[in-house]
Chains A and B, each alone.
Chain A
Amino acid sequence: MIDALDLSTLSDDQRDALVRLIVTLADSKRLMGIRYSDWTLGAPSIETGVSMASMTQDEWGHARLLYAMLKTLDIDPAPFEYERSGDKFASLSALDREPSDWAAVVALMVLADGALSTMLRSLAQGTLEQARRRVPKMLAEEQYHMSMGSAWYRRLADSGGESRRLLAVATENMLPGLIAWLGVDDAAARSMVAIGVLDSAEDRLALYRDEVREVVALVGWDIDTVLGTSEWDEVRGRAVGRPDEEACERARGDRNRALLVE
């Protein structure tokens, strides 16, 4: 196994880049949990609703573990979790809006959750010691998310008609932002590759494309021809945009925290 990264040797730029990476993963997990939780009631069956509840718990657990990784850089995660305005959130653009239908939730499971797992897999195999220890359990849980997402994706695609059309639309809307995020190759991302925290952008994209090629083809998409969005926010490490305000309030837990009595 490659040697673990000595965090005390990081330059300021490398440190900022690592913070950006951790925060974009943590924010995405938290928003993913919110999007899943909205379908605990209203999913197509009781079993599916129970699975959405379970997946929500997984995502929020992953978010908590990822935010806590900031402590290894002597950064208090609390301001990131509870005090940022929505325009500072670094979550995936695919999570910016509430899924309008079940097909969009299924696309989130396969495409967005799948993109997060691809990035986490890269992180788990890199030089960041905390990721090596914490991420494999997350990925084991994510296998169930991908299994369920893929099965539902095939079912909706095979059903034809409106379900297939909605799935194709959701896929088209999500992929450019996800491809840009996974294939990010700006200065901060390159610095993470240089110190072995992540695989190269090409390797990450190749893995992701292999993962989703077959399913997106079911709705007429060729993953190898999808280009990433050019509207990139280098500070947050995500496509331009932000999550809706209600989701941000819920992610921060504003209302719950108002009830805290110190």
Chain B
Amino acid sequence: MRESVYDVFTRKERGDRLQHVGYVDAFDDETAKVYAWTTYSEEKWFEMCVVKRVNVLPVNRTDGLFVEAQDSSHD
């Protein structure tokens, strides 16, 4: 089973800006959530969420990680 890249976003306090803190490789959404929670555990996050990188649609760039993710999804 092929793994996918999931980007991890957190906010420390309610009202804080959601920030990108890193990514994990996982084979499905459930493991992505566990991996993210256990890997980025340096803070007591108010909120954490993961987004499958292939679902992030580039708007103005034609290069970079998110474009590469789009390209690889067509492999």
Contact = CB atoms under 8 A, between A and B. Distances in A.
Chain B residues touching A, range: 10 to 19
A54 B30 contact: no
26 contacts: A45-B3, A45-B25, A47-B24, A47-B39, A48-B35, A50-B35, A51-B35, A51-B38, A51-B39, A53-B38, A54-B38, A54-B41, A55-B38, A147-B30, A147-B31, A147-B33, A147-B34, A148-B30, A148-B31, A148-B34, A151-B28, A151-B30, A151-B31, A152-B31, A155-B27, A159-B1
Contacts of A148: 30-31, 34
Contacts of B31: 47, 147-148, 151-152
Interface in B13-40: 24-28, 30-31, 33-35, 37-39
Contact of A51 (B1, B25, B27, B34): B34
A57 to B, nearest CB: 9
Given A51-B38, A148-B30, 7 more contacts: A47-B25, A47-B26, A50-B35, A51-B35, A148-B31, A151-B30, A152-B31
If over half of A's interface residues share one DSSP class (helix, strand or loop), that class is named, otherwise mixed; here it is helix
Top 4 A-B residue pairs of the complex, sorted by shortest distance between their CB atoms = A54-B38, A47-B35, A148-B34, A51-B38
B33 A50 contact: no
Interface of B: 1, 3, 24-28, 30-31, 33-35, 37-39, 41
A8 B37 CA distance: 42
A158 B27 CA distance: 13
Nearest to B29: A151
Contacts of A50: 35, 38-39
B32 to A, nearest CB: 9
Contacts of A55: 38
A50 B36 CA distance: 10
A150 interface: yes
A144 B31 CA distance: 9
A154 B21 CA distance: 29
A158 B37 CA distance: 25
A54 B24 CA distance: 15
A155 B31 CA distance: 11
